[in-house]
Amino acid sequence: EIIFPTSLTKIGSYSFNGCSSLTKVTLPNKLKSIGSYAFSSTGIKTITLPDSVNDVESFAFSSTKLETIIFSNKMRTIKNNLFNKCLQLESLIIPDNILNIEPESFKNCRNLYNITLPNKLEYIGYKIFEGCSNLREIVIPKSLQRNDQPKYGNDAYSFIYSSIEKVEFEEGTTDIITNLFCKVNTLKEIIFPTSLTKIGPYSFNGCSSLTKVTLPNKLKSIGSYAFSSTGIKTITLPDSVNDVES
């Protein structure tokens, strides 16, 4: 058991790391920041981050028993590896105040089967769902603008090593950004919005289980290697398409 004072504003890095018998904490309402690995490898099952909290550092809740997460409405970023190896986490709704999800945030959450990405999400890092073997479907919000662009030979792609089989892009999406589902070899189905006009380079490169796609009627351009090394057998290019790159 931990009794925090109401005056507490900061919990330092590694403060309670490895406290395996710690199953619950109540964070005070003036708390602003939580350091890296602060509660890593504890037995915490539920965490409510007060609205005063605006910074939670990497690995802070990694390898915990978390089943429920309530985010602060002041948080803008889920830091890298924040929930790495939370094996009891099965379902999660990320609130719309989260704009950025950094690399490997949910890596090895093997029982995670359902996640809702925020409607204002702007950036996702690489390997965010690596090792999430039960997560089969994902909806990508139209707000997404950026991901990591790996150097040649690097495998730092957004959804690589995930088990995603189906992706749906929110209606209103106009561009699919470069490399977004590159090398997701489990991907079998893509639902494109009618609003889509551009598919970026390497977007679905290496999706070897993808055997068919239906392209929307407003699509204008397809980037280089967009569907390279997939299993697609037939492709119909709508009359709206005027540019298909090498």
Distance, in Å, from the CA atom of 117 to the CA atom of 163, rounded to the nearest integer, reads 17
* Whole-number Å distance between alpha carbons of 33 and 86: 21
**CB-based burial, 189-199: b 16+ in 10 Å, e otherwise:** ebbbbebbebb
- What does the pLDDT profile of the chain (246 residues) look like in tens digits? 999 999 999 999 999 999 999 999 999 999 999 999 999 999 999 999 999 999 999 999 999 999 999 999 999 999 999 999 999 999 999 999 999 999 999 999 999 999 999 999 999 999 999 999 999 999 999 999 999 877 756 788 999 999 999 999 999 999 999 999 999 999 999 999 999 999 999 999 999 999 999 999 999 999 999 999 999 999 999 999 999 999
pTM for the full predicted model: 0.94
